């Protein structure tokens, strides 16, 4: 049952966070409110803030790890979902979507309209509002590449205002909005192209699948189809019948190591697995390594620890930690710590979690 169906008709009632997250984990919250318009969102948060009530904002729940103890306050599910199209001052087409709109539905609609820019971000679960917070990215494209502006609610004074991408300190899987709740995203504007072609294909795996050179542009519908196929093969497209998708997506970010640290890390890798090619990419501040590659070489295979465990690494992709049914958040965190510590012991690289942790920590 979807979160919307589960709780749309019980405002103010206690809920289980396991019903609101893609991991299907998390304990109870004191109360639940679902808001379907921006006006409702402003009024609800203003009322709760004035009452001193702790609040947890939830969109699609795809990037949350909630403790077994739950949340001692009110969960506010952001479900405003209007989507419109307009033109930027320089003539570029834009899509402007409410924070509660389903992200992949927005992507699919832009592709259907033959508009380019979002196609590489197909299949990512969750709501629009989380995308600039996390600077969501996949297959060589990040929200930072297309973002034109974000409308936020300033909870200090209850006002709405648009802020520019330069104000958000967008970086790899983070922004000035992440881990802060003083400003709430209510609407996101993204710039698109109107020639029917994708953004330049930067990701090697996607370019190979498409049969093109990196940097080429491809019809948007073709790119979306291939991205969905690649994500499905890794258990990264939600499917209630597939426990490999009962996850928060990639649990760890790809680590960025400094140029000074890289030689020592490469020596540790060579000592453990031999002289093999190590996936690495230029990044701000150093070199980005593949977390999934490191996890596997540290001895954690797909499906680890075994088929009887209630929490396992995905059988399709070692970067996802999955709930096989009947799990607890603490069991998930125990496995995450084992993987993190194992990679650090093997290679001297400490992995950092990508999801937002609520009431718990690694």
DSSP states along 227-292: HHHHHHHTT-S--TT-GGGSS-SBSBPPPEE-TTTHHHHHHHHHHHH-S----EEEETTEEEE-HH
**311-313 and 71-78: which strand pairing?**
unpaired
Residues 347-362 pLDDT 10s: 999 999 999 999 999 9
Tell whether omega for the bond before 305 is within 30 degrees of 0, i.e. cis: yes
Confidence band, pLDDT 50/70/90 cuts, at residue 14: confident
Q: Which of 24, 34, 94, 173 is catalytic?
A: 173
Given a cut of 60, is residue 1 above it in pLDDT?
no
**Facing residues of 141 across strands?**
138
Q: Which of 16, 130, 250, 314 is catalytic?
A: 250
Given a cut of 70, is residue 131 above it in pLDDT?
yes
At residue 12, the pLDDT reads: 60
Confidence band, pLDDT 50/70/90 cuts, at residue 89: confident
Confidence band, pLDDT 50/70/90 cuts, at residue 11: low
Q: Percentage of the chain surpassing pLDDT 70? A: 96
Contact 178, 158 (CB under 8 A): no
pTM listed for this prediction:
0.91
At residue 8, the pLDDT reads: 41
At residue 155, the pLDDT reads: 94
Residues 288-339 pLDDT 10s: 999 999 999 999 999 999 999 999 999 999 999 999 999 999 999 999 999 9
Residues 157-173 pLDDT 10s: 999 999 999 999 999 99
Assess whether 191 carries a catalytic annotation.
Answer: no
Q: Percentage of the chain surpassing pLDDT 90? A: 92
Q: Which of 119, 142, 151, 354 is catalytic?
A: 354
Residues 241-284 pLDDT 10s: 999 999 999 999 999 999 999 999 999 999 999 999 999 998 98
Assess whether 354 carries a catalytic annotation.
Answer: yes
Q: Give the chain's mean pLDDT.
A: 94
At residue 235, the pLDDT reads: 93
At residue 252, the pLDDT reads: 98
Mapped onto helix, strand or coil, the DSSP state of residue 183 is strand
Section 39-68 average pLDDT: 95
Given a cut of 50, is residue 4 above it in pLDDT?
no
Given a cut of 70, is residue 5 above it in pLDDT?
no
At residue 175, the pLDDT reads: 96
**How far is 52 from 334, CA to CA, in rounded Å?**
33
Assess whether 173 carries a catalytic annotation.
Answer: yes
The closest of 362, 327, 359 to 344, measured between CA atoms, is 362
């Amino acid at each position: 049952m979807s979160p919307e169906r589960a709780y749309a008709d019980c405002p103010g009632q206690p809920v289980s966070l396991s019903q609101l997250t893609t991991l299907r984990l998390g304990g109870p919250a004191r109360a639940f409110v679902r808001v379907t318009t921006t006006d409702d969102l402003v009024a609800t948060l203003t009322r709760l803030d004035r009452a001193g009530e702790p609040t947890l904002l939830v969109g699609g729940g795809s990037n949350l790890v909630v403790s077994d103890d739950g949340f001692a306050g009110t969960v506010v599910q952001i479900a405003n979902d209007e989507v419109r199209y307009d033109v930027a001052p320089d003539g570029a087409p834009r899509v402007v979507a409410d924070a509660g709109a389903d992200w992949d539905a927005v992507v699919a609609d832009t592709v259907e309209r033959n508009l380019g820019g979002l196609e590489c971000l197909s299949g990512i679960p969750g709501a629009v509002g989380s995308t600039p917070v996390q600077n969501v990215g996949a297959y060589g494209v990040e929200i930072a590449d297309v973002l034109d502006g974000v409308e936020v609610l300033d909870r200090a004074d209850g006002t709405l205002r648009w802020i520019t991408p330069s104000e958000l300190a967008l970086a790899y899987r983070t922004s000035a909005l992440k881990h802060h709740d003083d400003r709430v995203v209510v609407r996101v504007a993204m710039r698109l192209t109107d020639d029917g072609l994708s953004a330049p294909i930067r990701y090697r795996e996607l370019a190979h699948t498409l049969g093109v050179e990196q940097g080429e542009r491809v019809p948007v519908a073709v790119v979306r189809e291939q991205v969905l196929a690649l994500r499905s093969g890794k258990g990264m497209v939600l499917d209630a019948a597939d426990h490999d998708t009962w996850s928060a997506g990639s649990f760890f970010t790809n680590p960025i190591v400094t140029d000074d640290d890289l030689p020592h890390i490469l020596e540790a890798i060579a000592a453990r697995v031999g002289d093999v090619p190590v996936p690495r990419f230029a990044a701000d501040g150093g070199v980005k390594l593949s977390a999934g590659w490191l996890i596997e070489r540290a001895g954690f295979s797909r499906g680890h620890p075994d088929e009887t465990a209630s929490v396992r690494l995905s059988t399709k992709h070692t970067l996802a930690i999955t709930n096989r049914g009947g799990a607890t958040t603490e069991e998930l965190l125990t496995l995450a710590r084992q993987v993190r510590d194992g990679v650090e012991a093997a290679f001297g690289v400490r992995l950092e979690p990508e999801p937002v942790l609520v009431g718990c920590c690694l």
